[in-house]
Amino acid sequence: MTAICLVGIGKIAVDQHVPSINASDDWELAATVSRAGTVDGVQAFTDFDQMLSERPDIGVVSLCLPPVPRYEYAAKAIAAGRHVMLEKPPGATLAEVYALADMAKAAGVTLFTTWHSRMAEGVAPAKAWLADKQITGAHISWKEDVRRWHPGQDWVFAPGGMGVFDPGSNALSIITEILPMPIHLRSADLLFPSNCDTPIAAQMQWTKNVTGDFDWRQEGPQSWDITVETTQGTLNLHDGGARLLIDGEKVIGGPRAEYPALYARMAELVASGTSEVDLSPMLHVADALTLGKRIVVDPFHF
Ligand code: NAP
């Protein structure tokens, strides 16, 4: 088993990373770094530099921090010869992640920009089914209640937090994976609460008749759905990619095991001495923030 350190013991670390590591034969959770969070029975550091110097046996670092602070940690880890796994979205800017990729290459370590939704059960079969189809259009409907899923996480509305594109990047990671052709943004309406620096909702129009509706104000039923129309039928992904239907018939659907798959992939990458760095989902977020029309809406408070 390979010793791994988890950094940023917050919601996603507790909900997904810790159980996935504990259930894996590849990994041993050897330390954590967090200012407040800890994991029972695991050595806890509050200072990252101290962990790097005191635990040279830990070769892999998994960063579960929000995107803005992540770069500094990743750069230090790579400089210290550690392999690095990044939560999504992989950074606060595209350029900083390209810089990390260059650093990882020069240092001979693995960098993995994870996109957990791509590991959802329906995504690979959806990609395979669409590979030889003629696409006539697609629609993303990604509507959830930010108060329910990100309670009190002020960073999502601060610069670099990306607002509704924090969950929206999950949809973008799926659409960029399954469509057999590239798309680019034509227009976007971005709804900014008057007291926030990031959008709470967005309507997007891409080339090839692809549209997206992202909203963090959704109360009641939540939707994480993608529909792709082709000349040979309609594909639907529901539940964030976990359930796949073609022409209304269920093809696949089961419990979500995205994070165990991410850690299995990281083990493969480290073993093969390779990196996986894909910024295509984040490219669409950056494009929305450069091309989008800013519309000011009611203030938001958790
Ligand atoms: P979170 O709970 O707010 O943050 C994770 C931890 O990071 C915090 O507990 C905090 O730990 C540390 N942290 C926060 N700000 C920091 C800063 N400025 N400097 C250093 N450490 C800081 O967030 P999360 O929901 O786990 O999300 C973290 C990442 O996972 C995000 O990129 C998010 O998109 C991704 N993600 C989240 C979910 C979800 O459902 N929440 C799902 C999938 C992916 P300490 O205070 O103890 O240092």
Q: Once rounded to an integer, what is the mean pLDDT over residues 90-94? A: 98
In a domain, 271, yes or no: no
| In the predicted structure, residue 150 carries a pLDDT above the cut 80 | yes
pLDDT of residue 225: 98
- Asked whether residue 131 falls in the same domain as residue 246, the answer is yes
Q: Which domain holds residue 47?
A: 2-113
88, 133, 143, 250: which one is catalytic?
88
Burial 199-233 (b: 16+ CB within 10 A, else e): bbbbbbebeeebebbbbbbbeeeeebbbbbbbeee
Q: Which of 85, 113, 141 is the last residue of a domain?
A: 113
- pLDDT tens for 56-82 read 999 999 999 999 999 999 999 999 999
CATH (domain of 51) = 3.40.50.720
| In the predicted structure, residue 252 carries a pLDDT above the cut 90 | no
11 is catalytic: no
pLDDT of residue 32: 98
Report the alpha-carbon angle 107-117-36, nearest 5: 65
Percent of the chain with pLDDT over 70: 100
- Asked whether residue 104 falls in the same domain as residue 133, the answer is no
Ligand 1, residue 33: give the atom nearest the CA: 48
Estimate the crossing angle of helix 94-107 against helix 280-291, to 10 degrees: 150
pLDDT of residue 253: 80
Q: Which of 113, 143, 165 is the last residue of a domain?
A: 113
pLDDT of residue 232: 97
What's the whole-number average pLDDT of the chain?
97
pLDDT of residue 255: 74
pLDDT of residue 250: 84
> What is the domain count for the chain?
2
pTM for the model: 0.97
Structural contact between residues 83 and 271, judged by C-beta atoms closer than 8 angstroms: no
In a domain, 261, yes or no: no
Ligand 1 site-directed mutation target among 64, 154, 259, most atoms within 8 Å of CB: 64
In a domain, 51, yes or no: yes
Q: Which of 171, 281, 145 is nearest to 228 (CA)?
A: 171
- Asked whether residue 290 falls in the same domain as residue 164, the answer is yes
Give the separation between CA 237 and CA 177, rounded to whole angstroms.
13
- Asked whether residue 63 falls in the same domain as residue 121, the answer is no
The residue with greater pLDDT, 110 or 256, is: 110
Q: Hey, what amino acid is at 144? A: E
Ligand 1 centroid from CA 67, angstroms? 8
| In the predicted structure, residue 254 carries a pLDDT above the cut 80 | no
Ligand 1 centroid from CA 155, angstroms? 9
pLDDT of residue 251: 86
Q: Which protein residues are within 6 Å of ligand 1, measured from CB?
A: 8-13, 34-37, 64-67, 69, 87-88, 116, 149-150, 153, 155, 166
pLDDT of residue 17: 98
Ligand 1 site-directed mutation target among 17, 65, 86, most atoms within 8 Å of CB: 65
Q: Once rounded to an integer, what is the mean pLDDT over residues 14-23? A: 97
Ligand 1 site-directed mutation target among 11, 62, 153, most atoms within 8 Å of CB: 11
Ligand 1 centroid from CA 16, angstroms? 12
- Asked whether residue 91 falls in the same domain as residue 202, the answer is no
Residue nearest to atom 4 of ligand 1 (CA): 10
- pLDDT tens for 25-42 read 999 999 999 999 999 999
Ligand 1 centroid from CA 227, angstroms? 30
Q: Once rounded to an integer, what is the mean pLDDT over residues 245-265? A: 91
